[in-house]
């Protein structure tokens, strides 16, 4: 689901105030044809609910799953998806580019 940056950050704040564990995923690098630009955000709660987009839908499921782990561990992760990566085909990134997504817990 796409949303304005302000909506995403406001939702993250509201989710935290409601006591939900929250992670923020941010596109930090792109190469070639990438579905979303650097700076695109996705927030995820501990139950896998999310708002925003880091990939136009093609790798969101994998990012959400990793974000749930980040919420549990508190340890950030750098994720990379690309057309040459077998994981990219599994999650649907077939656009020919690569994206690097940083996932961190929001406290």
Per-residue pLDDT in tens (0 to 9) along the chain, 107 residues: 456 777 888 999 999 999 999 999 999 999 887 888 999 999 999 999 999 999 877 788 999 999 999 999 999 999 998 755 555 455 555 566 789 999 999 98
Residue 1 has what pLDDT? 47
Selection from 34, 51, 87, 43 nearest residue 68 by Cα = 43
Residue 78 has what pLDDT? 98
**Total number of domains in the chain:** 1
Residue 65 has what pLDDT? 96
Residue 36 has what pLDDT? 87
**Structural domain boundaries, residue 21:** 5-106
DSSP category for residue 6: H
C-alpha torsion sign, points 105, 10, 93, 57: positive
Residue 12 has what pLDDT? 93
Which pTM was predicted?
A: 0.85
Largest CA distance in the chain: 40
């Amino acid at each position: 689901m796409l949303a304005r940056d302000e909506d995403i950050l406001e939702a993250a704040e509201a989710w935290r105030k409601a006591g939900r564990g929250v992670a923020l995923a941010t596109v930090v690098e792109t190469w070639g044809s990438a579905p979303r630009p650097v700076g695109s955000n996705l927030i995820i709660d501990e139950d896998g609910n999310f708002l925003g987009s880091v990939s136009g839908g093609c790798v969101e499921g994998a990012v959400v799953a990793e974000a749930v782990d980040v919420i549990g561990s508190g340890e950030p992760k750098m994720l990379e998806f690309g057309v040459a990566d077998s994981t990219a085909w599994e999650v649907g990134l077939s656009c020919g580019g690569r994206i690097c997504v940083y996932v961190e817990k929001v406290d």
